[in-house]
Structure formats: structure tokens, C-alpha cells
């Protein structure tokens, strides 16, 4: 059953990462009025400062999501192990 919980934790982490990316993109667009820098936009010039700022924010959100997903998975595994001992 631990493998199921780990797979579920991985799935939750992927979905949360996707949602976090969309959230950061939307907040960036609302706050700056520009689309997030991707490196593929030829028509919108991107400054190094805005690209680095966006990368820092995106990486921070990604790291937070990863830590929370790992902690949640570990709590679920611990909780499942305790209920198995009781039964």
C-alpha cells in the first residue's frame, strides 16, 4: 500500500506543480502587464532583470510545492502505518 500512497503523492505533486505554474504566470501577468518571459517570444523583448526575477519566483514556488507534497506524502505513509499496526 505504500507504493500506492507514493504514487498518489507524486500525482498530487505534479498537479500542484502545474497549478502553481499557472498561478505564478497569472500573477506575473496581472502585476506587470506583460506575459511571463519564456525565451520563445520574439515580439516581446525581455530584460535580464525580469527574466531572473521570474525565474527566482517560479523556482521558489516550485520548491515550496515540492516540500509540501513530500511532507504530505510522509504524513500519509506514517498515518497508514499506524492504522495497520492497530488493525
Residue 50 lies in a domain: yes
Length of the chain: 87
Residue 11 lies in a domain: yes
45 band by pLDDT with thresholds 50, 70 and 90:
confident
Residue 37 lies in a domain: yes
The pTM score is 0.75
- Which pLDDT score is estimated for 86? 63
Within 13 Å of residue 57, how many CA atoms lie on the same side as its CB? 17
Residue 60 lies in a domain: yes
- Domain count for the chain: 1
73 band by pLDDT with thresholds 50, 70 and 90:
confident
* Beta-carbon contacts of residue 50 (< 8 Å; ≥ 6 apart): 32, 34, 37
83 band by pLDDT with thresholds 50, 70 and 90:
confident
| DSSP annotation string for 9-63 | HHHHHHHHHHHHHHHHHHHHHHHHSSPPP-S--SSS---HHHHHHHHHHHHHHHH
Residue 87 lies in a domain: no
**Which domain, by its residues, includes 37?**
2-82
Amino acid at each position: 500500500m505504500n507504493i500506492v500512497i507514493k504514487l498518489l503523492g507524486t500525482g498530487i505533486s505534479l498537479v500542484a506543480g502545474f497549478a502553481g505554474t499557472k498561478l505564478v504566470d497569472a500573477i506575473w501577468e496581472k502585476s506587470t502587464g506583460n506575459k511571463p518571459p519564456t525565451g520563445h517570444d520574439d515580439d516581446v523583448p525581455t530584460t535580464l532583470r525580469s527574466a531572473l526575477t521570474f525565474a527566482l519566483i517560479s523556482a521558489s514556488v516550485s520548491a515550496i510545492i515540492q516540500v509540501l507534497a513530500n511532507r504530505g506524502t510522509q504524513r500519509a505513509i506514517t498515518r497508514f502505518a499506524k492504522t495497520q499496526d492497530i488493525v
